[in-house]
Amino acid sequence: MVDQSPKAVAERRARRAERRQEQRDVNVGRAEKMHHARVGAQDGQKEVDNGPTLMGRTFIGCSGWYYWHWKGNFYPADAPSNEMFNIYQSNFETVELNAPFYSWPTVAVVRTWLR
């Protein structure tokens, strides 16, 4: 049973606020790293292929691609998990990423997405 005394509730709220602040602090660092990676790419340190111009184009996609319950409907029933994105990208030109709304991804994670 969870202690619902005012003191216990206040302590849980304080811990939650502390965790949220820690996550915000981490996000600032991740955002800075992403900014430096992006600026470095713009400065010619690494070529980035942005593909065709986006002006006037409409992209249709889904909010993610790794959904096990799509197997047998969208994905072949026997499709291995590591092939889901390849199958997805052969059908759609874009995907919405939800994770960055909750916390900044690391540069390594973004590189994995690109790969």
Q: What is the largest CA-CA distance in the chain?
A: 59
Q: Residue 85 pLDDT more than 80?
A: yes
Q: What is the pLDDT of residues 44-58, one digit of tens each?
A: 554 445 555 666 778
pLDDT in tens, 8-45: 989 999 999 998 888 888 877 777 877 777 766 655 55
Beta strands in 59-114 (DSSP E): 61-62, 94-95
Q: E-assigned strands of 47-98?
A: 61-62, 94-95
Q: Are 35 and 110 in contact (CB under 8 A)?
A: no
Tokens 């430096």 belong to: 36
pTM of the model: 0.47
The residue extents of the domains of the chain are 1-48, 49-115
